[in-house]
Amino acid sequence: MAVWQRIVAAIKRDPYGRTARQVEEVLQTARPYGVSKALSEVLVRTREHLEATERAEVARQIQSMLRRSELQAPEFASRVGVSNENFADYLEGTTSPPASLLLRMQRLSDRFAKLAAQRSGK
């Protein structure tokens, strides 16, 4: 039991790390019952949790870019070329944008933050 607990702890610590990948390889050939079913659930749930945490972090970054730009959300969305609905999903962390769109958002935020600083005389 102690070995399984260490394996589970390693998976939770790094859901895509060496131990998780090794367990994943073993599970591909194992029958889905008992310990293999439990470890499969641990992998799935831990990875889902990690992905939700990452989406939330991306959402916070996008919210920060939006605030920094001093634009309203519809204007920001329009200027980066996404619908208001998709942008709202990004802000809520429901989905994450592609990396290229994140870069576009960062450039827009930087440009408008610079303009705001110039207007205020900084």
* Domain residue limits, the chain: 2-119
Which long-range contacts does 100-103 make (Cβ < 8 Å, 24+ apart)?
Answer: 102/58, 102/61, 102/62
Answer whether residue 3 shows pLDDT above 90. Answer: no
Q: What is the percent of the chain where pLDDT is above 70?
A: 99
Task: Give residue-wise pLDDT tens across range 20-45.
Answer: 999 999 898 877 778 888 999 999 99
Answer whether residue 122 shows pLDDT above 60. Answer: no
pLDDT bucket at 57, cuts 50 / 70 / 90: very high
Higher pLDDT, 15 or 122: 15
Q: Secondary structure of the chain: what % helix, strand, coil (to 5)?
A: 80, 0, 20
Q: Tell me, yes or no, if the pTM score tops 0.85.
A: no
